[in-house]
Amino acid sequence: MTPDLFRQRRKTDLRALPPGIAPWIAPSHDEGDDEAAPVDLAAWLLDPNRTPAPLYASADAARAAQSFAVTRLVLESLGREDRLPALPAGPLAVDIRNAEDYRFQDLYPRPPRWQTRRVLDFHPGVGRQVNIWCQEVPGLVYCAMESDESTYVAQAEYFLRANVLPFLDYVAEPRDFAVREQAGIYHLPTWRFDLLPPGFFDMIMCVDVLPHLSRRLIRHMLPLFHRCLATGGGLYIRDDADAAFNHDLERTLSQLGFVLEFRPYLFPGEDIHGLPRLWRKVDPRKPAAGRPVGG
């Protein structure tokens, strides 16, 4: 995967979109073809500033070690190319963050019909969330969706170096690309949301992303999230958005047919970085749990 390949695929695909949509559904660094600064994968993983404090005090140490098992595979691969000064002895800040997220995403045993096996990670950073899920879920379908050129290239490098699941990349092989039931990592750009099957995913993750998007793009994406989620599927959102943003987001999600299942009583910036919330796609045939029936 190269930046040139990404830019060429973007240019080709966006010719099929209406001109007014392309700039905000697939933003570029500017209107030209200037090359974006590459991401140093080793620095991304090792730099604690990439994982803002505070780390949640109750993060599971065993889960952090589980995450580090995959992080270590990536770092060992980089070390073989002399791109790593030294191999860390134990879990990194990014692994603790993975342990936090997994705890909030998998809160309690779910009925068999709602087991989480198919996951969409929207703007997933380097793709760190695959670390624990690939070890906990047999046959995991992990779909990573990204619009930023440098980050997309870094994600492809991360997935290939980790080598924990078969890897399929739309930009590299667009002709036969499809998100299927077969276990694997499916990597595609944000503007190809049409390739995601309706009612397919058991969970969608949005970590530290929504407040950084334009309101117009958010209004476009939220109904697509609802379309792609299976009934009862979870929408996991974690960020440090302000109260006004959260109010608008909650109102929109409720109107779309989501119900808020979980939001911890924690203070962002003091107890935790980014407040986690878990929403569920409501079954229209049944009343949402906790809501009165009749009147």
pLDDT at 294: 45
Dihedral over Cα of 249, 250, 255, 258: its sign: positive
The CA-based dihedral angle spanning residues 161, 166, 170, 175, taken in that order and rounded to the nearest 10 degrees:
140
Task: With cut-offs at 50, 70 and 90, classify the pLDDT of residue 23.
Answer: low
Query: Nearest to residue 220, comparing CAs of 18, 8, 32, 28?
Result: 18
Query: Which tokens go with 3?
Result: 């930046």
- Over residues 81-116, the pLDDT tens digits come to 999 989 999 999 999 999 999 999 998 888 888 899
* In the predicted structure, residue 16 carries a pLDDT above the cut 70: yes
* Per-residue pLDDT reduced to its tens digit, 248-272: 999 999 999 999 999 999 998 899 9
Give which of 51, 59, 45 is closest to 273, Cα–Cα: 51
Grade residue 68 by pLDDT with cuts at 50, 70 and 90.
very high
pLDDT for 49 equals: 84
Residue 295: per-residue pLDDT: 40
The structural domains of the chain, with segments of one domain joined by +, span 3-24+112-281
pLDDT at 290: 54
pLDDT band at 287 (very low <50, low <70, confident <90, very high): low
CA distances from 26 to 6, 20, 147, 199 (A): 12, 11, 6, 24
Strand ranges, E, within 39-123: 118-122
Nearest to 50 by CA among 275, 273, 206, 277: 273
Give the residues across from 168 on adjacent strands.
Answer: 186
Per CATH, the architecture of 3-24+112-281 is what? 3-Layer(aba) Sandwich (3.40)
Label residue 197 by pLDDT band (50, 70, 90): very high
The model's pTM is 0.92
